[in-house]
A and B are shown apart, each in its own frame.
Chain A
Amino acid sequence: MRGRLRRAWRILALPLISIVLSILVGSLVIIASEWLVTGELKPGLAIDAFTALVEGAVGSERAIINTLVSSVPLLLGGLAVGLAFKGGLFNIGVQGQFLMGVLGSVIVGVQLRESPAVIAIPLALAAGMLFGAVWGFIPGFLKATSGAHEVVTTIMLNLIALQVFAAAVNGPLTVQGSSSPITPDVGNAALPIIFGRNGHLGIIYAPLMAVLYGWLLFRTTRGFEIRIAGSSPDAARYAGMKPRRLIIWTMSVSGMLGGMAGATDLLGVSHQTASSYATTVGFDSIAVALLGRTSPIGIVLSALLFGALRTGSASMQIQAGVPAELTGVLQATILFFLVASPVVARLFRLKGARSGLEETTTFTSTYGGEATIR
């Protein structure tokens, strides 16, 4: 029993310390920025803000359902980043894959809005996943064939996705006769509500995807190949695996998960969209995957944490007057302490603690011209 506790502490110590430190930094930021803008020094404001945040995230049944709903896209996006990460690829393109997922599901969902839900929902969801997979395939293909690093190409594709999205919604998808471009409602393709007022089906299938993710990575040959290619590409090559094909496969599936996150958000929450879709899920997913150390359980837990932050920050803004954008600051500081974990571990004298981040050697080593994949 004690051994087990110690093992759990070794894994959890650095993430937990990072979270606590980021709350401290967040408090300082709240107090300091209030002082800079209004000239008043209010130390109590930080406590008010975090109380409102926790209250808004888990204070009532409705709050908890809201937290779960906002965790769903983060969980799927986190799995997308995590899968690529395991394969030694850094998918910063979840933002674009998410948007394409929204687009694919709204196209098919609107077409099938009067068909029976049993047909409409799976097809709309599948369309979103397909669009996301295409948006993940492109950087994978470019990396495998030309060596263009995915960090640059996925960012460019994020920006292109914004424009493709706007062009599609402004053009063929918009409702006839509406004053501003907006798509029709997806009707029967909307995910059924199963908890409370807005707890949609995604709350059930997103965790199942996490299980599937764990099974794929740790119980299948393909998962083994991905992990080997990620941790030591040379060994993978000597073992006769095909790194190029693995890169394309991993990026496509990662993009598919990103697309699923977008499709779920559209079919479950918004049901229709204007020509821009305000979201930061793509970048939050990177934080989710890093904090969760790309393990399935870790990603579920950190998606819940960031989902709670997002939900709670809305009531923090209303009750304490602190902008909801504070979540961005908290997220960044958590990541900072995770990356600096060797130093944090030394400061807190945690000798046996596992490092806050997975060891990867492939991101930077495949950068630039080194990217030639043999």
Chain B
Amino acid sequence: MDGFLYGLPVIGLVFEFIGYLIAVLPLIAPIIMRAAVPIAFAALCGVMCERSGVVNIGIEGTMLVAAFVGWAAGIYLVPVLGAEAGPIFGASASLVVALLLALLAGMIVSFVHAWLSISVRADQIISGTIINIAAFGVTGYLITLLSKTAPTGAGQFKTWTPPEALTGLPFVGWIFETLLHQGPLTISLLVIVVAFQIALFRTRWGLRSRAVGEHPRAAETVGIDVIRLRYRNVLVGGVLAALGGAFLSMELNSTFQQDMTAGRGFIGLAAMIVGRWTPLGAFGAALLFASTVGISQSILIAPPPGQLGEMLLSLPPQFFDALPYLVTIIILAGVVGRSIPPAADGQPYEREAAT
């Protein structure tokens, strides 16, 4: 009975908190969207690799390398191509070329992972870990070397402003504002999520990829080249991860910092599992994880009134920094047993000897 009475004010606070969240949602939605982009790209990379049977723990490192290359290439490209802002997204020629180089870098890194895990048949988790350690070491070394001269990169992409008619709509205007008042990489994420979902479940490539991830032996007997398809998917996955990395150093910021990805690649893996290895699900899970960032920021900037606000502000600020990681662990532990990965996920494939 006592417990019940104590419970009442807590329930009151919970309702108050939910009310607060609904009230601030339109305000924090853009923050959530921006925080979700790198996580979602990482999760899409995970879906791309694991659907065809390759576990990729090295997403974090792939993103870090792409973020670095996107920024560092700008330093060398600006003197050659100039930094004149173009008509779309304020993109200069150097910025576009730097982005392409970042994507290429992501592809090269994921090629290393593909080679180690598909051809060498090393343990895929160790291979991915080594890519993370290598990416951390190499970018750390190069950024120390480069920052001696305090160079500037090619700047960053500007956001697109959607027409007033769309964002001014009552009730739903803020949704368009959130999704479309964004830079090119964020908008391309929306396109990629939808296209990838359709491709994975409605095209021949998607069917083949899923077959290779579920039962490679059977796929091979109907004439699918398992090794080649896995290579191809891991390389495309590298491009997806690189988009997430490039977003950090070319759209969200205009510089690179050491360890800039800060665990987003791993949160992306969790989002992939929570989203049940589907592109749409992974994107939704990325939004869920990112919402902790938006909620923390709004509590710090505009706390809810009264007792609830006082309570939340009395927490140390580090609590809010740790919140995304905490929520990731909790949701992962709750969901993982019920989320079924592709059957051949992580198993190296060996062709049967020709007889």
Contact = CB atoms under 8 A, between A and B. Distances in A.
A357 B123 CA distance: 10
B126 A156 contact: no
B270 A152 contact: yes
Contacts of B329: 142, 148, 153, 156-157, 160
Interface in A281-295: 283, 286-287, 290
B133 interface: yes
A137 to B, nearest CB: 13
Interface stretch (A190-198, A234-242, A323-331): A323-331
B133 A332 contact: yes
A152 B266 contact: yes
Contact of B140 (A34, A163, A164, A325): A325
Interface string B123-134: 111110110011
Contacts of A335: 130, 133-134
B316 A171 contact: yes
Nearest to B266: A155
B220 interface: no
Contacts of A323: 141, 144-145
B141 A328 contact: yes
A283 B140 CA distance: 14
Interface string A137-166: 000001001111101110111111011101
Interface string B178-216: 000000000000000000000000000000000000000
A368 interface: yes
Contacts of A330: 137
Which of B121, B137, B347 has the most chain A CB within a 10 Å cutoff?
Answer: B137
Contacts of A147: 336-337
A182 interface: no
B137 A331 contact: yes
Interface in A90-110: 90, 92
Given A156-B329, A170-B318, A328-B133, A367 B55 contact: yes
Given A367-B346, A370-B341, A160 B322 contact: yes
A339 interface: yes
A92 B263 CA distance: 12
A37 interface: yes
Interface string B302-339: 00000000000000111101100110110011101111
Contacts of B333: 142, 145-146, 148, 153
B62 to A, nearest CB: 14
A284 B269 CA distance: 23
Given A153-B329, A328-B138, A33 B123 contact: no
B127 to A, nearest CB: 6
Given A331-B137, A367-B346, A336 B325 contact: no
B234 interface: no
Contact of B122 (A163, A331, A357): A357
B89 interface: no
B332 A368 contact: no
Nearest to A360: B123
Given A159-B322, A167-B319, A325-B140, A364 B125 contact: yes
B340 A152 contact: no
Interface residues of B, number: 57
B101 interface: no
Nearest to A332: B134
Contact of B336 (A170, A331, A369): A369
B66 interface: no
Contacts of A151: 57, 125, 129, 266
B336 A146 contact: yes
A363 interface: yes
B273 interface: yes
A33 B145 contact: yes
Contacts of A298: none
B341 A368 contact: yes
B63 to A, nearest CB: 14
A28 interface: no
A126 to B, nearest CB: 26
A160 B347 CA distance: 31
A139 to B, nearest CB: 9
A159 B125 contact: no
B57 A372 contact: no
A372 B329 CA distance: 17
A318 to B, nearest CB: 14
A371 interface: yes
B120 interface: yes
Contact of B130 (A159, A339, A363): A339
B172 interface: no
A343 interface: yes
Contacts of B334: 146
A132 B57 CA distance: 24
Nearest to A34: B145
Interface string B40-78: 000000000010000101000000000000000000000
Contacts of B138: 29, 328-329, 332
B146 interface: yes
B151 to A, nearest CB: 9
A329 B336 contact: no
Contact of A159 (B269, B317, B325): B325
B341 A369 contact: yes
Interface string B250-278: 00000000000011001101100100000
B105 to A, nearest CB: 15
B116 interface: yes
A325 B339 contact: no
Contacts of A160: 322, 325-326, 329
Interface of A: 29, 33-34, 37, 90, 92, 142, 145-149, 151-153, 155-160, 162-164, 166-167, 170-171, 283, 286-287, 290, 323, 325-333, 335-336, 339-340, 342-343, 357, 360, 363-365, 367-372
26 contacts: A29-B138, A37-B149, A142-B329, A146-B333, A147-B336, A151-B125, A157-B329, A159-B262, A159-B325, A160-B329, A286-B129, A326-B141, A328-B138, A329-B141, A333-B134, A335-B134, A336-B112, A340-B122, A343-B120, A368-B55, A368-B273, A368-B336, A368-B340, A369-B337, A369-B341, A371-B336
Given A159-B263, A283-B133, A336-B112, 18 more contacts: A37-B146, A142-B329, A146-B336, A148-B329, A148-B333, A149-B336, A156-B266, A156-B326, A156-B328, A159-B262, A167-B319, A170-B316, A283-B136, A328-B138, A328-B141, A331-B137, A339-B126, A364-B123
